[in-house]
Structure 1
């Protein structure tokens, strides 16, 4: 690493206050608020309450999420060009994307059609619109945070504020539909996006010198593929993919597991989701303290191993064990905190190490979000149809259905998490000369 890259990687603004964290991270709250209903509640609602075929719904979700994933790198390049122009242009993109996101989300949960086939077409169209708006806003916001620079601990704090407030948004999304109904959920999303964008306008700004450099020396059209030429990024992306699908599968199946394996009440279902996300948010300070002693990659591996232990325990639960499942949710929520803080902080370090800070954050986060969406697409597009093909239908509570749900919800994620932990050790930790350098 040459001296310029090292200085770029370690340089940080003068401190990171609570006010800075709130102003930058607040937009993460409405983004996460809409993500939970889209990825967890919507499949359950369309299949269980509106009679849409599980296999057909899985195919629609797979198609929409794959299309969304494909456009993410292009949205990332668009963000890089806007950052090279002015921060105002980025904020304008955020305002437009937020408005489109709110409208698309509303139509998904208040459809104007009711026949199952029409519902599939309706969901497919509005999922594509909603996902695209969500992606544009997310990439722009994430790139802003990565451009702030700093050492491992500083980058972790930036990501922790964004993801921590995001968990507050998820918690609100978990309880709002059941307690206040869908209209209240939509009203909160509109308000959250408006306030979050307003706060973002006053957040700490990336250094202008980097944008000036990007404007004077724009990257070639092939810059879309530039992140994939970085071996450090490819290794980190591989670990992120394995770990991400391991997390996405239980997120897709959790309500089915609660309803059919544990036969839990709706109150327990809402409480379980709440405990999971509260513990994830509360775990952030603990993970930040671990960074001081173990570094980013080693701390992330601890989180993966904790998740494996927890889901192995969940496989032992059955009817009447809903209270024990709350403990599972608490511990897996703690593990979630590591998945939210460390990958993004590691990515910011990879960008800075390559000398791309202020030049290509959008491209990197475009591919990063591509991986996120691919994980979610594979989770819904493979797990749901596979369960349907093996004979499981929502509401089935016989022994065979219980075994299938346990295998898909517990054992499959454990295997993938174990692979991710091994990949993290082999690809990230072992090649690193200094333990605390990502």
Structure 2
């Protein structure tokens, strides 16, 4: 049996994960604070939502394009680092103009700088995730790599949640101040942490990737049966996670009557997810990624089922549920991404071509698709009479509760079923790596 490769040095993993922290800090503001700021500047709220949707559709073009081009890049600095370096200034410039728009910013300003920011984001995050998959071909090392990166992502999310409140600008009416604070923080952190990663982390040679157009790339990727199964389970589980995330504040405010303590509940949820990352990584090393991910989803369902029994005054039971379901967040962040790296090996072993960037570009699109589908939850609740301002009719509140609990539970059960017969066990993946390394010895680094 082939000896496993040496573990990736912790100093390299720490440096590799650093850019994910400030990049994660950009996600929350665009969902929570940005619509209110542009509405205050005179842009109709409906137009804000439409513009942000168009910007996300723009991602549908840029993500696969960046993935394909970075796969084909050859330079003395590697193929991932040049793209991350090129995306950095675009991200920095556009985040400032988007998040600190001024009083005269209109719909054109919002659309243009949103598209610029999402392009810069894609140029950084797509190569970054592909780079992580290429740092090691070992089944368990990939979980460790993803664990470092996703832990940084959770830390960035927690910072984005907590910094405005710590600075006294987290309340209603202070959204513009909160955005300015977060923009300044990211402007300081992102260049420094990205430069550390670019200078400190190695990039290993990979098999040459054949030039592909978009249609050919999609055909090759979706011919990979394991990829189809994984990405479908990932999207379904993403919707199951996204629905409660989109509806959380309304559920806490109108059904639990605990709106003032919603921030505390969110912080406990994300902190629990961060603490659990090493636990899920260790369990997956012993039992396998797909098995442990199924366990994590079952754990989430078990704790989420009692939520419909809660009502006003049940803050402590709901806090416990937030902590316990937050534990499974660590598994949802780390394990699917590590499994995606293994799926790429199936294609590479069959064709001798490394298309990691293209695969992870579609992975990013799947994340955004799940978010977009989950965003429809509030619309559906509104059709049944739910009003975000007042709570609306009793049927509307019932619909809110069903969308918050019932639909996510059913979706998670469907994702579990999809993963029940997962083909890529540690032994199978080790065989794929052996085939790859026989054809391309440098890929065994």
TM value normalised by structure 1: 0.85
* Structure 1 CA distance for aligned equivalents of residues 113 and 308 of structure 2: 36
Once the two structures are superposed, the pairs formed by residues 186-265 of structure 1 within 5 Å of their partners are 186-208=183-205, 210=206, 213-214=207-208, 218-221=210-213, 222-223=216-217, 225-265=219-259
Partner of 1:101: 91
SS at match of 2:309: coil
Q: CA shift at 1:150, angstroms?
A: 3.0
SS at match of 2:387: coil
Which residue, out of 3, 8, 17, partners 1:16?
A: 8
2:290 is the alignment partner of 1:297: yes
Contact 1:68 1:132 in 2 (8 A): yes
* Structure 2 CA distance for aligned equivalents of residues 335 and 92 of structure 1: 35
2:30 is the alignment partner of 1:30: no
Partner of 2:262: 269
* Structure 1 CA distance for aligned equivalents of residues 151 and 249 of structure 2: 23
Partner of 1:365: 360
Partner of 2:70: 79
* Structure 2 CA distance for aligned equivalents of residues 61 and 129 of structure 1: 12
* Structure 2 CA distance for aligned equivalents of residues 312 and 285 of structure 1: 26
2:159 is the alignment partner of 1:172: yes
Q: 1:433 to 1:128 in 2, by over 3 A?
A: closer
Q: RMSD value over aligned CA atoms?
A: 2.9
Contact 2:254 2:391 in 1 (8 A): yes
Q: CA shift at 1:405, angstroms?
A: 1.9
Contact 2:305 2:405 in 1 (8 A): yes
Where in structure 2 are there 5+ consecutive unaligned residues?
170-177, 431-445
Which residue, out of 38, 42, 55, partners 1:64?
A: 55
Q: CA shift at 1:417, angstroms?
A: 1.0
Which structure carries more relative contact order (alpha carbon 8 Å, separation 6+)? Answer: 1
SS at match of 1:263: coil
Greater Cα shift, 269-278 or 225-234: 225-234
Q: CA shift at 1:122, angstroms?
A: 4.6
**Greater helix percent: which structure?**
1
Q: CA shift at 1:225, angstroms?
A: 4.0
TM value normalised by structure 2: 0.84
Give deviations 1:284-317, integer Å, cap 9, x for gaps: 1111111122100000001111222232222322
Give deviations 1:327-376, integer Å, cap 9, x for gaps: 22211211111111111111111112332687211110011111111111
SS at match of 2:408: helix
Contact 1:294 1:436 in 2 (8 A): no
Partner of 1:410: 405
Contact 1:260 1:395 in 2 (8 A): no
Q: CA shift at 1:58, angstroms?
A: 4.6
Partner of 1:154: 141
Contact 1:77 1:224 in 2 (8 A): no
Partner of 2:279: 286
Q: 1:423 to 1:196 in 2, by over 3 A?
A: same
Once the two structures are superposed, the pairs formed by residues 126-165 of structure 1 within 5 Å of their partners are 126-165=113-152
Contact 2:384 2:396 in 1 (8 A): no
* Structure 2 CA distance for aligned equivalents of residues 328 and 114 of structure 1: 44
Contact 1:73 1:224 in 2 (8 A): no
Partner of 1:3: none
Partner of 1:396: 390
Q: CA shift at 1:175, angstroms?
A: 0.7
Where in structure 1 are there 5+ consecutive unaligned residues?
1-5
Q: 1:389 to 1:87 in 2, by over 3 A?
A: farther
Which residue, out of 76, 101, 110, partners 1:111?
A: 101
Contact 2:276 2:327 in 1 (8 A): yes
* Structure 1 CA distance for aligned equivalents of residues 311 and 219 of structure 2: 47
* Structure 2 CA distance for aligned equivalents of residues 272 and 338 of structure 1: 19
Give deviations 1:240-286, integer Å, cap 9, x for gaps: 111111112222222222233323244x2221121111111110111
Contact 1:48 1:394 in 2 (8 A): no
